[in-house]
Chain A
Amino acid sequence: KQEVTQIPAALSVPEGENLVLNCSFTDSAIYNLQWFRQDPGKGLTSLLLIQSSQREQTSGRLNASLDKSSGRSTLYIAASQPGDSATYLCAVLAGANSKLTFGKGITLSVRP
């Protein structure tokens, strides 16, 4: 059974800091890994998608990496801003029936 872990559950940093959010998964036979952002009371917004054959993806100040063999992904946020405050979830798509399994998320607070 695929399990996805995100530690820590919460993180508080001062504005301007570069930070890394971690995601680990137990079964490396994945199709892809996706990072989402969720603002309080809102739905999930896709940030980055990394296919299993890729090592990283970049979008603006965000960079996501994938190491399938070790079952790890990181989301790097450069020069963090208060507007980055949200919960960040990673999810892996795997299995014969393409089940999407989520971690519990990391709640990020960027202090002005």
Chain B
Amino acid sequence: NAGVTQTPKFRILKIGQSMTLQCTQDMNHNYMYWYRQDPGMGLKLIYYSVGAGITDKGEVPNGYNVSRSTTEDFPLRLELAAPSQTSVYFCASSYKAEAFFGQGTRLTVV
């Protein structure tokens, strides 16, 4: 049972480039989340999804987009990367119970 898998683990982007952070879970959870974690700031919710085809904004959605075409996958898209998006990104899944997290993607925008 792989749980929540995120790829890539590390990435360096140039300002203005775009990329997609991948997240997949094999627990058949309906709820999935994307967070970013900055030093001393805790985890902030970017987007979340309550099921396939349904997504909603969290606290800090600007500069990001998501899609949820299947229960398993919840990719996060960064368009026109900015230095402010340098962070560690975590994906999680749950269903009104224990939340499980991926190992994170460390993104640096230069």
Contact = CB atoms under 8 A, between A and B. Distances in A.
Contacts of A63: none
B99 A100 contact: yes
Contact of A97 (B56, B95, B100, B101): B56
A contact patch SS: strand
Interface of A: 9, 31-32, 34, 36, 42-44, 46, 49, 51, 89, 91, 93, 97-105
Contact of A99 (B48, B98, B104): B48
Interface string B29-60: 00101010000111101001010000010100
Nearest to A31: B96
A32 B94 CA distance: 12
Given A97-B56, A100-B94, A46 B43 contact: no
